[in-house]
Structure 1
């Protein structure tokens, strides 16, 4: 009897320790959430600049809603929403609210396409026209006799046109996929055709991804959204997500409303994207975390809910390019590799990162045309969780440059034929404006070197032996010289 009582006491003690341990973990997570919420910092910061809170940046950018998920050690650590999914109706953002994933759709699309390859229904190295039955890609002399394969389409190395899509209002007649590919009415985008020969280099093409949508339909004889739900979303546990455009069978108030830069509501609340493969996914960070974790586990050979290890590694291997893999981009930050993708639909912006090793990641989605807050939140998460390489903020010192010196930089600089950079001055401020783009403030870090605060871009003015400014050197993912022409 004494032994039984002692054993029972041990069980109770163990249970108590378990509850205490669980409570302690939750307390730790809540503390980290609080730290993330008050340590936002941009990709560019000036010396001595203090971090912002998420509420301050939402107000600054006029962003109505934000939703975040953090992945740690192959598990979702937490997911949380901020602000309004619909400001007018006062519907708050929760972890279940669906946002448009925009080009993140391409990542899940690649999983679905490679599932066909894994199942032996598609050879990713053969001519795509072998699998297209309702439409054929019209090769011309631009392709130089080279074929386009599925890997080309998924890695943007097919040399095709049409970067992205603007979507359609609820009043518009929606085009078929063939009409979109041919650029015929009621499609509002150009025809998807060869820009240069396939396999030459990576050139982002949502048009190419749309071809894979038709390939899936022609091979499976199913609607694209149905195939993707049954073969990709459901097995991944992403049961709240959908590629259906417009969404049907969704609960009232579950879809976030899109907003412009000034906070104005998008007409009709959101646009419709029949280009489902490159832009049509409705999801949330909680569901995207499931995709990221499965990718990480499959990469290690520890899971195969959709793709096995071999095909997961294929998907995460750059193809004919240093970073463009199949539906994802691979970045090496300080020796840590991440697979990632961003997205930009009308009224929505989003970004995710997942580490190839260690099981870490983050997803941020906003219902706004202004997506700068995404990088600021990612920086905060990376700093709080010590995600190696993902904290990407450069600190600049500020220099004072005399207006007379600034005036010597004013002029027109040719970046390439027909694309110029205009440098102007107002008082002690210098501005840069590229052809067809907005005017941006230039901030001095030295007497002849400036930087942008909105993007990791630096500009240096080069003089000749006579002391005349002849070149504007632009540092943005490389070095590009623009010759002064005026």
Structure 2
């Protein structure tokens, strides 16, 4: 019944169903996401010369009011494109240059990290080649559900003063919230305003974006769709110091106006600055080029200029193609993203994900209905009869376990983490989490066994070492050395999917891996062909045939991603 109502609603929005931008395949795919608990709502907007069209699915809260084009979402890192345009506008006004050193716009007492005599420029901050890390290492949030809220300008300055760069500035792409947040801070400081005041003055007000802001007024707060994780509402994120990296909130209505201006469909004095922000500055991000904030991916109908976003309970996408004059916005209020929908609508050759039932949600429902003792039988029944119909997501199951652990339902947490060890036996993290729950449940012998297994899979798991010591057990660690000649054979680019590569490099006896849009991390040998990361729970295995390296497999978050060596 809800589906029929929504379909009628869409027809009214588009005036005629025959004019819809969404094929039957896309509608069914979106509705399946709603039905399977991917997100309470998915709001999609399309803009071209014919004007805006809105397609809204679901409700702001589970069982709540239907969303519409004026419902407000956190747009997360799409904010970086606003920051890029603000920089471009400063350049067009002759107030800044892209090659200006960042230090020029900071207090004299603030020291910026350098590489020899080379300094970080405003352009480096905007195109992710500053060599600054993704986040500063002195972030210690009091509330992990709102992690940026208490990070101060003083802390950022302290980090910059003491940080040592790891590579030459401009040499590599490394996605950085810190760099973009610093850029927003510099722009605001130069204008003697807050970032929000600058964004409202230069972008929101000239474009008529009345639902685009950072600080919500009472009316806007009523329009806000609460963020969700695993079907539960979560805290909104406040990002005062690094606002330029992801603090903006907006609606489908306003975001289509924003894309209309970027496409030149809506006349605006900002258009020259927007065009400057779209220009590719480098092609160091795998198959993506990068402008000022924007990413650029080749598509069948022209370059897709885009950015996505994610905060604690939202995933969003905004992109456009100049050649077709078409823009697309996708907003969701959950941690299940929908970038594939945005790319598919802009580039028909891009595939939609296969939507499956969530195993985590199904187990959660069983526990809520029958208790913790029903979790394992529910999982085993699904495993034996219908596993292919379910999405086995390691992170979702892990998050569910911690939901019960933090709420004091230890038996349910133990049951959920046990499921994860069966579903993902090659993951170090699932044994670590299971060990934690067992330890809290007083089952130390079983906890030790699981921490040992976690450490075996990932020798860099310092938490497992600490927990074993706490329980009086000695960790068993084994160092593996691989000769430089073998390491060199792994160097190259591996394509996991269109637009997403892993570049393997070597520096002396150390192997490194860098995924598109991410930092470069060291890889440590577990065997001659198996390596692990210390910064995240992930492993890489190289596939060798007849002495030639053909591909690699990335094991992370319960997924196995295969990448063919392309160069």
Q: TM-score, normalised by structure 1?
A: 0.67
Q: Deviations over 1:407-440 (max 9, x none)?
A: xxxx9998746537999xxxxxxxx99874479x
Could you tell me how far apart the structure 2 residues matched to 1:24 and 1:205 are?
Answer: 42
Shift of 1:234: 0.9
Contact 1:474 1:480 in 2 (8 A): no
Contact 1:36 1:377 in 2 (8 A): no
Residue 324 (structure 1) aligned with residue 324 (structure 2): no
Which residue does 1:206 correspond to in 2? 177
Shift of 1:130: 1.2
SS at match of 1:96: coil
Could you tell me how far apart the structure 2 residues matched to 1:144 and 1:171 are?
Answer: 33
Instruction: Decide which of 270, 277, 289 is 2:256's aligned counterpart.
Output: 289
Could you tell me how far apart the structure 2 residues matched to 1:135 and 1:92 are?
Answer: 51
1:44-63 equivalences in 2 (<5 Å): 52-63=28-39
Shift of 1:225: 0.5
Could you tell me how far apart the structure 1 residues matched to 2:18 and 2:151 are?
Answer: 49
Which residue does 2:116 correspond to in 1? 144
Which residue does 1:369 correspond to in 2? 335
SS at match of 1:139: coil
CA RMSD of superposed structures (Å) = 4.1
Which residue does 1:391 correspond to in 2? 349
Contact 2:300 2:349 in 1 (8 A): no
Instruction: Decide which of 203, 206, 214 is 1:243's aligned counterpart.
Output: 214
Q: 1:26 to 1:58 in 2, by over 3 A?
A: closer
Could you tell me how far apart the structure 1 residues matched to 2:69 and 2:353 are?
Answer: 33
Residue 306 (structure 1) aligned with residue 273 (structure 2): no
Q: Which blocks of at least 5 consecutive residues in structure 1 are unaligned?
A: 1-22, 41-50, 185-189, 397-410, 424-431, 440-456, 482-486
Residue 93 (structure 1) aligned with residue 67 (structure 2): yes
Contact 1:72 1:361 in 2 (8 A): yes
Could you tell me how far apart the structure 2 residues matched to 1:114 and 1:234 are?
Answer: 17
Q: 1:461 to 1:325 in 2, by over 3 A?
A: same
SS at match of 1:251: helix
Q: Deviations over 1:12-71 (max 9, x none)?
A: xxxxxxxxxxx999554x2344x726313xxxxxxxxxx834221222243111111011
Could you tell me how far apart the structure 2 residues matched to 1:278 and 1:111 are?
Answer: 13
Shift of 1:349: 0.4
Could you tell me how far apart the structure 1 residues matched to 2:564 and 2:157 are?
Answer: 35
Q: 1:39 to 1:480 in 2, by over 3 A?
A: same
Residue 463 (structure 1) aligned with residue 437 (structure 2): no
1:157-168 equivalences in 2 (<5 Å): 157-163=129-135
Could you tell me how far apart the structure 2 residues matched to 1:85 and 1:355 are?
Answer: 29
Could you tell me how far apart the structure 2 residues matched to 1:237 and 1:98 are?
Answer: 15
Shift of 1:377: 5.9
Residue 419 (structure 1) aligned with residue 520 (structure 2): no
Residue 349 (structure 1) aligned with residue 315 (structure 2): yes
Q: 1:355 to 1:240 in 2, by over 3 A?
A: same
Shift of 1:192: 6.7
Contact 1:163 1:204 in 2 (8 A): no
Q: 1:25 to 1:470 in 2, by over 3 A?
A: closer
Shift of 1:137: 4.2
Contact 1:180 1:191 in 2 (8 A): no
Q: 1:210 to 1:91 in 2, by over 3 A?
A: same
Shift of 1:215: 1.1
Could you tell me how far apart the structure 2 residues matched to 1:39 and 1:420 are?
Answer: 43
SS at match of 2:303: strand
Q: TM-score, normalised by structure 2?
A: 0.58
Please state which structure has a larger fraction of its residues in helix. Answer: 2
Could you tell me how far apart the structure 2 residues matched to 1:230 and 1:297 are?
Answer: 20
Contact 2:69 2:251 in 1 (8 A): yes
1:402-417 equivalences in 2 (<5 Å): 416=511
Contact 2:552 2:562 in 1 (8 A): no
If asked which structure has higher relative contact order (CA below 8 Å, sep 6+), I would say 1
SS at match of 1:52: helix
Which residue does 1:5 correspond to in 2? none
Residue 178 (structure 1) aligned with residue 154 (structure 2): yes
Shift of 1:193: 5.9
Which residue does 1:194 correspond to in 2? 165
Q: Deviations over 1:111-147 (max 9, x none)?
A: 112222222221221111112237634224xx12212
SS at match of 1:349: strand
Contact 1:37 1:54 in 2 (8 A): no
Shift of 1:169: 5.0
Could you tell me how far apart the structure 2 residues matched to 1:215 and 1:304 are?
Answer: 25
Shift of 1:198: 1.4
Q: 1:480 to 1:368 in 2, by over 3 A?
A: same
Q: Deviations over 1:49-104 (max 9, x none)?
A: xx83422122224311111101123x54311322121337x232111111011000
Shift of 1:366: 0.5
Could you tell me how far apart the structure 2 residues matched to 1:135 and 1:283 are?
Answer: 36
Instruction: State how many pairs are aligned.
Output: 379
Contact 1:233 1:239 in 2 (8 A): yes
SS at match of 1:31: helix
Which residue does 1:259 correspond to in 2? 228
